[in-house]
Amino acid sequence: MKFLVIWKLDLSLLSPHVAAAVARMPRYAQPLEQSGQVAARYHIVGAHGGAWLYDVGSNEELERLIALMPIYNFAHYTIYPLAEMPDWDETGAALPDPPAARRPPPPEETG
């Protein structure tokens, strides 16, 4: 099961203790990336947080991994369960015409 987890630090809790927790995040992530439980991690530009793509066996496993994050008590989390998008060829479904293809052509300009 894949999940996109977006976490944002609660800046009202900012302290040296929180900064130390943030500094431990790469060390926490390394074994998860090696095992495939974290497929990718990104910094959200202009924000104080990150976006991690988890690939885990269950909701419970995801909850456990999030609870073990060094920043667990200092961040807010938004979790999106993800589903595979089948190729159109697999489903046999035809793509609908894009809206622009259904519009009549614009009138010709006269000079």
- What are the domain boundaries of the chain? 2-84
Please name the helix (run of DSSP H) or strand (run of DSSP E) that holds residue 79, with its range, or none: strand 75-82
| 15-42 per-position pLDDT tens digit | 999 999 999 999 999 999 999 999 999 9
Cα dihedral across residues 43, 49, 51, 56: positive or negative: positive
Q: How far does Cα 31 stand from its chain's mean position?
A: 19
Choices 3.20.20.70, 3.30.70.1060, 3.30.70.141, 3.40.50.2300: CATH for 2-84: 3.30.70.1060
State the Cα–Cα distance between residues 99 and 14, nearest whole angstrom.
48
80 band by pLDDT with thresholds 50, 70 and 90:
very high
pTM: 0.74
